[in-house]
Amino acid sequence: MRGVRNIALVAVGPRAGTEIRKLRAWGGDLRIVWSYQADRELRPNSVSVNIYNLSAESRAILDAFDAEGAELLMVLQAGTEAGGLRDIAVADIVDVEHTRKGADWITTIEAGEGERTYTDAHVSVSLLPGATVEQILDSVTEVYAAGGITLDRSRLNQLPQVQRLRGFSYEGRASDAIPALAEELGIKATTQLGKLVLSSNDPAPAVRSVLLSADTGLIGTPKRTSTKRDGLRWEIEVLFRLAIQVGDVVAVKSVAWTGTGIVDEIEAAGDTHGAATATLTVIPLTTESE
């Protein structure tokens, strides 16, 4: 969009419990190219950042962090000069690399939301006969609080009171137990911004929706897709200035489709020397016209 300057900030530091210690941040006039992929499946969302021409001192700091063998966290923020920054991801760093390309030094940071805390968390729970699946899910997800991941229920309807007549006993990875429990409740779970976010497959009317139209940041025309496995979906491209996460409900107004849907996937990318856009994969909930 003409006159809009995209900005970004990358903060990195070793994890200290639920915080980042010895935090270092880079932004300002540095060129930062980033990408973010997220969906409502229970697996780490991927984040990739290229920072151009960090000083030799800054590259050495990143290398020193890595040499400590500490668990490194990255906070990615992005936005516009006019609208300011917002959090995009809080992610565990899995790789840092410096490469020379012509006159530029490019520092590449690869990370995943919940890559360590979510994946590695172990749980041991035992509930008596008659326990509801919701109670079981609460018990299983308690283990994440110790690693700084809290439970976000803001996108949920009232959950069905499904009971386990024989009770429930489990010991192992929490990330292996949650998918089956979520399926029983008709919900999805994903890690976003340091939270385990639960969202309903059929959101209540009261759940907030984000308006997508040509006036609010919709780019082009939504594309209809359909597969045997996934059913009907709409792919929608938007300006990234819109604050949208997976699990959000969007209200779309376009020539191709007008209706509401739930965001199932996001693929976003930005460049502080260029554009920032996102492609949303949306499951339709209601349709006014096609």
How confident is the model at residue 17, as a pLDDT? 59
pLDDT at 266 > cutoff 90: yes
pLDDT at 250 > cutoff 50: yes
Alpha-carbon span 24 to 35, nearest angstrom = 20
213-231 confidence digits (pLDDT tens): 999 999 999 999 987 777 8
Domain boundaries, the chain: 6-115, 120-200, 209-289
104-156 confidence digits (pLDDT tens): 999 999 999 888 777 778 888 898 999 988 888 888 888 777 766 788 888 77
What band does 209 get if pLDDT is binned at 50, 70 and 90? confident
How confident is the model at residue 226, as a pLDDT? 85
**Residue 133: what are its φ and ψ, rounded to 5°?**
-65, -35
Q: Which CATH number fits domain 120-200: 3.30.470.10, 3.90.340.10, 3.55.50.10, 3.40.50.2000?
A: 3.55.50.10
pLDDT at 82 > cutoff 90: no
What band does 13 get if pLDDT is binned at 50, 70 and 90? confident
Superfamily of domain 6-115: Baseplate protein-like domain - beta roll fold (2.30.300.10)
Could you tell me which CATH number the domain at 209-289 has?
A: 2.40.30.150
Q: For the residues 260-278, what does the mean pLDDT come to?
A: 94
145-199 confidence digits (pLDDT tens): 776 678 888 877 777 788 888 888 989 988 888 888 888 888 888 888 878 888 8
pLDDT at 256 > cutoff 70: yes
What band does 1 get if pLDDT is binned at 50, 70 and 90? very low
